[in-house]
Amino acid sequence: MDFKERILTTLNHEEPDRVPVAGFILSQVTSNRILGKQTADFADMLETADLRRGLMDIMNSSWLDMINSALADWFEAAITLGYDANWTIYSQMEVVEEPKFKQGLAMHDIWVRAFELRVDKDGNTAANYVHGLCTTENDWYSWVERNRPLYDELINNVREHHRLMAEKFGDRILAIGSPGSGVFDNTWQPMGFENFCRFVYQKPEFMRKVIEFHTDLLLRHLNAIMDSGVELVVGGDDLGQKTGPLMSPEQMEKLFGESYRRVSEAVHSRKKKLLWHTDGNVYALLDKFVEWGFDGVVSLEPTAGMALGEVREQVGHKLVLVGNLDIAYLLVRGTKEEMEDAVRKAIKDAAKGGGFILSPCNSHSAIDPMRLEWMVEAAHKYGMYPIAI
């Protein structure tokens, strides 16, 4: 079987030749280490106002090219590691000066979130969500109006980006198309979680409009991704924290149920599969994922208590399970023996009958490429069907 048959067989809850491995390498440092490339060190440039402004101008004027180039490296790295699939992702952002942040630069995305742009000592560039840019209902409407011309640009760039990735890598690895964050994150993050919670109770009609707006935009985004021919898309909302969901299943249904159903129907109407990424402890939402029409769940974060055996017992083969390898310790500092044990256990707990893709549960720059190699080696060693562990 090739990578594509392996993944598609798994998605149908049938046993392929071996357990597929997927990932989402989202770090230039990680991909450079895998590919043996130097990482450009431009942290010093950020110390000088003129150079900082110059860097900002370059990033803003060549954003699409920059993303395409980074993703090309991430795909090459995933292929080098032996992955069967890797995420592709495009987000529309603008780099702006922000004196409050340590290195003076922020990134604002078109969903009205502020990210701190930081270059660390290893040369890794990271953009971490810090806060939203609108705290009132009026703010939100103003931002949407201001950004309106950018939404068409987003859709065009998404289509172009995914087309390029499919064209360049489609014969060597399966691209999992991702719009990044989903309707839940896109709703609360621009206003901050505290304001969001207030609005849910105090301004339900406003919330309904925000959610509808983001659902419509996400559907355009997903359709642009699917236009490139990808077989599989992954939506994403972080719906859980360490001990449980952020909102009750009932409240999620009331606020977001219709939105999620629309997303699933749109993907299925094009004969594609829809996985859903969420960090955190989401046992209480798994049945909802099935109801909403998701085909699988991605992440299954072990440090939030997600255990593959328990998840499989709860949902059976109604969901494809993707992930579960720990990124807090195992993929950063774990030993080879610990890696083998974790991979063996994951395969034992979830792979029988297909429907399981082994993957790190998330991605960050401190993940060690050597440990990713160990993960793939162990998957090949223990993941041959029929599973005999």
Partner 1 sequence: MDSTIDAANSVAATDDPQAAKDAIDAFTDALQTVGKWFQDGEWFLAELVYAGEISKETMKILTPLIEGGTLESIGTIVVGTVAGDLHDLGKNIFISYAKSAGFNVIDLGIDVSTDRFIEAVRVHKPQTLGMSCLLTSTDMEIGKVIEELKRQQLRDQVKVIIGGAALTQQFADGVGADAFAPDAVTGTDIVRKWSSS
Q: Does 327 bind partner 1 (CB under 8 A)?
A: yes
Regarding 329 and contact with partner 1 (CB under 8 A), the answer is: yes
Q: Which stretch binds partner 1 (CB under 8 A): 66-74, 76-84, 165-173, 199-207?
A: 199-207
Cβ closest to partner 1, residue 233 vs residue 286: 286
Q: Per rule CB under 8 A, is residue 203 in the interface with partner 1? A: no
Site for partner 1 in 12-71 (CB under 8 A): none
Strand pairing class (232-236; 93-97): unpaired
* Among residues 37, 146, 172, 198, the one that binds partner 1 under rule CB under 8 A: 198
For 181, the enclosing helix (H) or strand (E) is none
- 96 near partner 1, judged by CB under 8 A: no
Pick from 12, 135, 223, 365 the residue near partner 1 by CB under 8 A. 365
Q: Does 284 bind partner 1 (CB under 8 A)?
A: yes
Instruction: Confirm if 281 and 244 have CB atoms less than 8 A apart.
Output: yes
Task: Establish if 335 lies at the interface with partner 1 (CB under 8 A).
Answer: no
Distance CA 163, CA 170 (A): 10
Do 107 and 30 touch, CB atoms closer than 8 A?
Answer: no
- 3-class secondary structure, 286: helix
Q: Which range of residues in 259-267, 327-335, 347-355, 373-381 is near partner 1 by CB under 8 A?
A: 327-335
Length of the chain: 389
CB of 195 to partner 1, least distance (A): 9
CA 174/CA 83 separation, integer angstroms:
9
200 binds partner 1 (CB under 8 A): yes
In the complex, least distance from residue 353 CB atom to partner 1, rounded to whole angstroms: 30
Question: By C-alpha distance, which of 374, 363, 365, 300 is closest to 334?
Answer: 374
DSSP states along 115-130: EEEEE-TTS-EEEEEE
185 belongs to the binding site for partner 1 (CB under 8 A)? no
User: Per-residue string for binding with partner 1, 99-138, x by CB under 8 A?
Assistant: --xx-------------x-x-x-----x-x-x--------
CA distance 241 to 79: 32
Compute how many residues bind partner 1; rule: CB under 8 A: 36
Residue 112 is encoded by which pair of tokens? 């009205």
Which ranges of the chain would DSSP assign to H, the alpha helix? 3-11, 28-35, 49-61, 63-81, 137-169, 183-188, 193-202, 204-227, 249-268, 286-292, 308-315, 330-333, 336-350, 369-382
Kindly state whether residue 269 participates in binding partner 1, applying the rule CB under 8 A: no
Is 364 a binding residue for partner 1 by CB under 8 A? The answer is yes
What residues from 287 to 326 belong to the interface with partner 1 (CB under 8 A)? 303
Instruction: Establish if 244 lies at the interface with partner 1 (CB under 8 A).
Output: yes
72 neighbors 31 (Cβ within 8 angstroms): no
| 8 A C-beta contact, residue 192 and residue 241 | no
332 binds partner 1 (CB under 8 A): yes
Min separation Cβ 116 and partner 1, Å: 6
DSSP element (H, E) containing 22: strand 22-23
Q: How far is the CB of 131 from partner 1 (least distance, A)?
A: 8
For partner 1, the binding residue among 193, 268, 270, 381 (CB under 8 A) is 193
Q: How far is CA 11 from CA 295, 357, 361, 375, 387, in A?
A: 8, 9, 18, 21, 17
Would you say 44 or 145 has its CB closer to partner 1? 44
Provide, rounded to whole angstroms, the least separation between the CB of residue 255 and partner 1: 10
Least distance (Å) between residue 228 CB and partner 1: 31
Write down the least CB distance from residue 132 to partner 1, Å.
12
203, two tokens:
């301004």
Q: How far is the CB of 338 from partner 1 (least distance, A)?
A: 12
Distant-in-sequence, close-in-space partners of 323: CB < 8 Å, separation ≥ 6: 298, 299, 300, 301, 357, 358, 359, 360, 361, 362
- Interface segment toward partner 1; rule CB under 8 A; list 80-88, 165-173, 194-202, 217-225: 194-202
Residues in contact with partner 1 by the rule CB under 8 A: 101-102, 116, 118, 120, 126, 128, 130, 193-194, 196-198, 200-202, 241-248, 251, 279-280, 284, 303, 327-329, 332, 364-366
